[in-house]
Structure 1
Amino acid sequence: MVPLSVLDLAPIVEGSDAAQALRNTLDLAQHAERWGYRRYWLAEHHNMDGVACSATAVLVGHVAGGTRSIRVGSGGVMLPNHAPLVVAEQFGTLATLYPGRIDLGLGRAPGTDGLTARALRRHLASEHEDAFPQDVLELQAYLGDVQPRQPVRAIPGTGTHVPIWLLGSSLYSAQLAAYLGLPFAFASHFAPDMLEQALHVYRSNYRPSTDWPRPHAMVGVNVIAADTDDEAARLFTSLQQRFLGMQRGQRGPLPKPIDPGLMETLWDPREKAGVQRMLAATAVGAPDTVARQLAAILDRTAADELIVAGAVHDHAARLRSYELLATLP
């Protein structure tokens, strides 16, 4: 098995609240560290009832402070929402507090709806979206070595060389990551359509950099493991219900699991096909079943690393899922 990392959206589950979600995040991170996961990443989302990770840098610091060795980072910070200097100061501070443990994954999408993006003071005019490459370069400069007569510096931040990753679900970030010689993570855990094409673009156009002489591709997958296939299928219905809600433009806390057969009463054929398409990069079942499904994904993608999302309603079952996954050969 390739190295495994954790992607956490700090899910707020039906019947619970954000405070418990954040306690669960730290608990899962501490377990993931003991189980040998390489990274623990948190994703920026805003104005969503079902996730508690809006203040991503704050949560990264909380997790890093509650663990000892696992790398902690963003998967990702949505750069168009922020000034590059502010991000450099936040992650430069984190890297100063927790040297050698902080990653900075960057996305180009707002991570929210249009009205919330306006509330974040994000520029919405189309011409500003083209500033993403320049913002990445500016951020790299703030985190790199100070230059002679450099007028603006990130303090802390300068000289920390926080590793920057580009994240995406299309060809855009794949092309940019290749051009800049940066590692690339594809969000196939919810948007798998262009996965293999994006990886081909990234690898075939990669320009080696000092820090990354070879391309490094990380692939997002959903994994729900349990002691039996039937139990995993039941737990999986929470994620299926969430994605069904996305099809309908409805968001909310992560639903409780139901009998898998009842899913047929909730969706129509078009909705079912849409959910299945969005969840194509998913492994569900007992350990042997999950191992076979992940092997097929690795055969298709030749991923250097997998980052695993595991939306399970019950926290104990979520821990068990990640524990079982960590024991796969």
Structure 2
Amino acid sequence: MMPPAAQEVPDNATSTGTRPHRLRTGPGWVRIFGGGLVLWLGSVLVTFATGNVTLIPTIILLGSFLIPVTFVAYAFEHSDEVVTGQRVFIAFVYGGVLGVLGASVLESAFLGRPAGLTYVGVGLIEEAVKLAALWLLARRLPRYTMRDGMVLGAAVGFGFAAFESAGYAFNALFTSGGGLNLLNLVETEALRGIVAPVGHGLWTAILGAALFAAAARRGRPRLGVAIIGWYVLVVLLHALWDGSRGLAGWLTLVLTGTSQQWLLIEYGAAPTATEAQLHLYTALIWLLLVVDALIGVLVLVGRWRRATAAARPAVESGADERT
């Protein structure tokens, strides 16, 4: 029998012999998402009910940052000695701000009105500035793994998405006549929040995996053929996402366009779409977005599995050395 001083105290008991009350509420990121969603909905309802426009910044900030901050909270709970909570936070804030600033400067300098090739240009610029921000933040890490690159890349991408969504929401608030359209603001935030996980965060996570995979072989981040290849893929996914409306419109005309409609287009006039064409147009937009998202998710899952398989031998060898 062990002496009283050496007796083990159960983890679920205190020194007084009583059991502490523990409330199981799930992971922190789930609580943050649920609480943030309730606050956003409450802000929307109160603003509609009272007409208090001073609450509009609250709606914009909560709606734009809800999904990105939820990811950051999830990353905090899975941090390690390299992907620390501080690094994730820095990647989210610094990477996001540097990304939107760089993209704004370059797009205003080199891009004009939206068109087919313009969407490719937007993808080239925005994915490049996010990759550059991630590169800057990852210069002096103690080690590089694909999984760490995905996490930090996603943090940069979600930061970019949060600040960009806030800008889109602000623009959606104003009508062409100078009035305020709160419903348009809420719809914009809701839509961008739903698609946020398969947008910038996903694309930059793919680039982060490529950057860190190359850095693991060379000891530091350096540009290579593999990174350029993954960059081109991400740019194409980005361009397809942004250009889905235009591509859907062209496909609708190809599939159902009449001779009169094509004649109007040749003369530079916009043809009037039929009700059936409008339904087809909407369906094609969502089809293109779903296909784009599925390609990105499948690529990221494949990279994550490869990264996990590559990391397993190192973990097992470390465990063998300790036994």
Normalised by the shorter chain, which TM-score bucket? Answer: under 0.3
TM-score w.r.t. length of structure 2: 0.24
Q: Name the structure where strand makes up a greater proportion of residues.
A: 1
Q: How does the TM-score come out when normalised to structure 1?
A: 0.24
- Say which one has the larger Rg: 2
Higher normalized helix content (fraction of residues): 2
